[in-house]
Amino acid sequence: MNFKVVSRNIAHWLGCFLLYLSAILLAGGLIGTFLYVTIGSLTHPDLSLSYRLSKGFTNGFFYAGVWATGLSIVFCVMRAHKERKMKATKDCE
């Protein structure tokens, strides 16, 4: 394999990893925001909405960050397996 192919593969998988990572972190932040606003309005109605929004996003982002790296690696491996399987069936035809 030459340098161009290797660098293209590295860029491809690094981009996939970062895409999955940022999607998981964003989803965690949005879920945390939604939960803090809905549950926080029932348990702590005296807190402001902006505080609950910011606290929910940061906590959701943090807890999603615990799982994001591992899940991103798993999703990349699943995608690589799928791409390799599709390439193998394409070569057989």
In a domain, 12, yes or no: no
Alpha carbons 41 and 24: distance in angstroms, whole number:
25
In a domain, 84, yes or no: yes
pTM to 2 decimal places: 0.85
Question: Please, what is the Cα angle at 61 between 31 and 79, to 5 degrees?
Answer: 85
List, in order, residues 6 or more apart from 68 with CB less than 8 Å away.
20, 21, 24, 25, 28
Query: pLDDT tens digit string along 7-17?
Result: 998 999 999 99
In a domain, 85, yes or no: yes
Q: List the domain range (segments joined by +) for residue 82.
A: 26-92
- So what's the pLDDT on residue 29? 96
In a domain, 40, yes or no: yes
Average pLDDT over residues 32-44: 93
Alpha carbons 82 and 72: distance in angstroms, whole number:
15
> Measured between alpha carbons, how far apart are the two ends of the chain, in Å?
25
